[in-house]
């Protein structure tokens, strides 16, 4: 049995592909999940689980899962959905799992290290997109923009490719794995391509200094994420090797003729 702490967008995609029973938690116990702080319910599920995956991000006090349940995680397979943000800014260079941890958020860096020390498979994820949560949706809703910044590139990954990697890692060695597509690209190019697929004009450029503080921080980091270790060790390769393939598949499933067959957007946390 797999117990997932934090049944958000990415976790639900993993649960849908996991070859066995899955039990999950949320803050409030919605949609048939267990409430995270309900020890009477979570305790027995944790004892019965052979595999434990956490997608719960750290807060100001540290990692909530390790703080509350860390002493009951022994003897199990552990997985943790981390972020490529732990690498910090690389000036556009490639980073693999040997790169130093120099992210701006100390609590995120510490959580990543703590799960590694526990013997977890730590999945370092870049920008996540998929059904109901992609540049196509933002362009369609009028919420997308392009930013007047030169030379900025990011890595990204389709949510279904994350799910495939996690399932493959069920029998893999512990350690960190970058789960990203093969072709880092400028966000402006991705947004423009999404608009073209929708037959819409690309959104206008905006100045960086007009964005919110979190958005400006996003653009303060520039890196390309290498996925070679996941390919070698997990036998994994992204089905959607670049944003063009991923957005094309999403545009087909959300076209007017396919809309009735498309799954509803998942709710919950980013991971």
Could you give the CA distance from residue 87 to residue 1 in angstroms, rounded to a whole number?
Answer: 32
Does 189 have pLDDT greater than 90?
yes
Quick count: other Cβ atoms within 10 Å of Cβ 82? 29
- CA separation (Å) from 200 to 44, 87, 133, 144, 191? 52, 35, 18, 12, 11
Q: What is the mean pLDDT of residues 14-41?
A: 97
Q: Is residue 227 part of a domain?
A: yes
For 203-216, give the DSSP string: PPEE-GGGS-HHHH
pTM of the model: 0.92
CATH number, position 234: 3.40.50.720
In a domain, 132, yes or no: yes
pLDDT (tens digit, 9 = 90+) per residue, 125-178?
A: 999 999 999 999 999 999 999 998 888 999 999 999 999 999 999 999 999 999
Would you place residue 6 in the very low, low, confident or very high pLDDT band (cuts 50, 70, 90)?
very high
Structure tokens that stand for 146 in this block: 């392009």
Whether 269 is in a domain gets the answer: no
In a domain, 236, yes or no: yes
> For the chain, how many structural domains are there in total?
1
Which pLDDT does position 254 carry in this prediction? 60
The C-alpha atoms of residue 198 and residue 201 are separated, in whole angstroms, by 9
Q: Which domain holds residue 183?
A: 2-261
| Alpha carbon distance 53, 15 (integer Å) | 10
Is residue 268 included in any domain, yes or no? no
Q: Look at residue 260 and tell me whether its pLDDT is greater than 90.
A: no
Q: Is 237 exposed, middle or buried (0-12, 13-18, 19+ CB in 10 A)?
A: middle
User: Which tens digits make up the pLDDT trace of 203-243?
Assistant: 999 999 999 998 888 888 999 999 999 999 999 999 999 99
């Amino acid at each position: 049995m797999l117990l997932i702490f934090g049944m958000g967008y990415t976790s639900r995609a993993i649960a849908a592909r996991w070859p066995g029973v899955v039990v999950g938690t949320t803050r409030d116990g919605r949609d048939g999940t267990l409430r995270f702080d309900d020890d009477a319910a979570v305790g027995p599920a944790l004892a019965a689980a052979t595999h434990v995956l956490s997608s719960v991000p750290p807060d100001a006090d540290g990692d909530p899962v390790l703080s509350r349940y860390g002493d009951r995680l022994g003897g199990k397979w552990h997985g943790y959905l981390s972020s490529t943000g732990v690498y910090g800014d690389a000036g556009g260079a490639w980073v693999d799992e040997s790169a130093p941890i120099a992210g701006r958020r100390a609590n995120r860096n510490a959580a990543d290290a703590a799960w590694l020390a526990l013997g977890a498979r730590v999945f370092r994820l870049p920008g996540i997109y998929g059904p109901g949560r992609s540049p196509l949706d933002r362009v369609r809703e009028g919420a997308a923009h392009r930013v007047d910044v030169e030379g900025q590139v990011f890595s990204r990954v389709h949510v279904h490719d994350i799910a495939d990697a996690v399932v493959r890692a069920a029998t893999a060695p512990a350690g960190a794995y970058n789960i990203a597509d093969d072709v880092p690209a400028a966000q402006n190019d991705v947004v423009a391509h999404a608009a073209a697929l929708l037959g819409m004009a690309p959104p206008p450029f905006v100045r960086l200094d007009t964005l919110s503080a979190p958005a400006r921080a996003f653009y303060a980091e520039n890196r390309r994420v290498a996925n070679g270790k996941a390919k070698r060790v997990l036998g994994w390769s992204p089905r959607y090797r670049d944003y063009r393939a991923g957005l094309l598949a999403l545009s087909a499933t959300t076209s007017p003729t396919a809309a009735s067959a498309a799954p509803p957007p998942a709710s919950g946390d980013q991971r």
